[in-house]
Amino acid sequence: MRTTARRTTLAAALVGTLVLGGATSYALTTDLTGHGDARRVDGDQTSQVRKQLKSGKAQNVILLIGDGMGDSEITVARNYQYGAAGELPGIDALPLTGQYTTYSLDKESGKPDYVTDSAASGSGWATGTKTYNGAISVDVDGAPQESLLELAKAKGLRTGNVTTAEIQDATPAVQMSHVADRGCASPKLMADCPDEAVENGGPGSITEQEIATRPDVVLGGGAKHFADTVTAGENTGKTLFDVAEGEGFQLVDDAASLDAVQAADQDAPLLGLFSDSTMPTVWTGPAATHAGGAEAPVTCEDNPDHADSVPTLETMTTKAIDLLDQRSGHGKGKGHGHGHGKDQGFFLQVEGASIDKQDHAANPCAQIGETVDFDAAVKTALDFAKKDGNTLVLVSADHAHSSQIVSAGSTTPGLTRTLTTTEGQPMTVAYGTAEEGGSQEHTGTQVRVAGYGPGAANVVGLTDQTDLFFTISRALRLAG
């Protein structure tokens, strides 16, 4: 049970002074009944905001995406883990915030599709080009659009891609591949992507393209696709594991082997595959049901399937930053790309994937646990950026989702589940876009985007998901 750990965390959050952008911002107490007890800002914040307005270029960019992490999902996790007056130590600590729109495009008309999927949304920030649901970094006509990771690698920066999903899933795939349909993960799954199939002269499946793109660090799930066999070209008959090994990738499959890696570069890029499919969630609990809101409140528990051998997102993010930031020079190696030096910096994308997947499953405990794990990864990135002084950290979501906080103990026409929060209070979470056993739907609302470091002011106000591409490409001088 997580009760003791959560009570300790709450005490740390509610006693003493909290910090915004390196300066005192507000203090919280456990008593919220008095005049001003619930306020989060102490005095005029103009000077503190001014200090965060750092113009100029960044050496490194870390982009963190909470899949399906709308404002509601953030609030659900904050209430449960830290209390209504608490804060998420990563997400809520980013000093500059805004909102961005997430709509995709209809493939035939080119007009807005108001509810995006992860593929179209990710393609938007990865390439700066709006596209249709299901597309992986191609435009509405199917033309490949160069991604931030590809641009960064071509300019000599080190690159990384970390996820708790399959590395072939939409969000990681948009940085490393270009296919007409997100389902084209391996050679045997190419029915919807005939133009990209190797036998038709194309670049291959998502997995084949990810090997060819060759980031310095790739970590996540999706090992099952590497067991698939190549059906055409010089690697015919080989498994994609064989192809990756032949291309010099270091392959690791558990937390211990990941920890043992000392370097990753173009001579020996790192490929960590820690699950056949999506990595297991860190927490578990009962799903929402039609009667769940009226049943006794539950407390979230550790997921026994997330063993010590499975790294958390925080662990993977910490390792990726450490490897990408190594000060020793990187050799060119095997003709695969530029030599990389410390002064050239890095681009890293990190995804907390199962906030979305557990929202689809109407499982609030698993959803909250993934949000808390993602927040820990954000804090890792923010801590690094504060020490480094030349790193832009950006945090957002690809789209919002369907979970809502409703009156405690409520039953709704949809599905509900009541949890006991860290404050000992009941919180009922409702899902209303699918029946029990179905998949809850994305929503089309704008989502939070937040930043810290050089260029972070570009997230302030209302922007679009495609603006992230231009913010990052300017910060890293990728254009031209």
Q: What DSSP designation does 293 have? A: G
Q: Secondary structure of 51-64 in the HEC alphabet?
A: HHCCCCCCCEEEEE
DSSP string, 233-260: STTTT-BHHHHHHHTT-EEE-SHHHHHH
Q: Would you please indicate which residues are annotated as catalytic (active-site) residues?
A: 118
Strands 217-221 and 270-273, bridge-based pairing: parallel
Alpha helices for 230-389 (secondary structure H)? 240-246, 255-260, 313-324, 354-360, 364-388
Instruction: Measure the CA–CA gap between 263 and 420, rounded to whole angstroms.
Output: 44
Name the 3-class secondary structure at 134.
Answer: coil
Exposure string for 219-241, b = 16+ CB within 10 A, e = fewer: bbbbbebbebebbeeebeeebbb
Strand partners, 65: 351, 396
Using DSSP's 3-state secondary structure scheme, residue 79 falls into: helix
Name residue 14's amino acid: L
The residue type at 121 = S
* The token pair that represents 387 in the structure block: 């020490």
On the 0-12 / 13-18 / 19+ scale of CB atoms within 10 A, 126 is buried
The residue among 148, 145, 121 whose CA lies nearest residue 61 is: 148
Task: Identify each DSSP E strand in 177-216 by its residue range.
Answer: none
Nearest alpha-carbon partner for 359 in 399, 412, 331: 399
Distance, in Å, from the CA atom of 81 to the CA atom of 420, rounded to the nearest integer, reads 10
SS3 164: strand
Residue appearing with tokens 């490949």: 144
CA atoms within 13 A on the CB side of 244: 29
Q: How far is CA 162 from CA 62, 65, 321, 341, in A?
A: 11, 10, 10, 21
> What SS3 state is found at 388?
helix
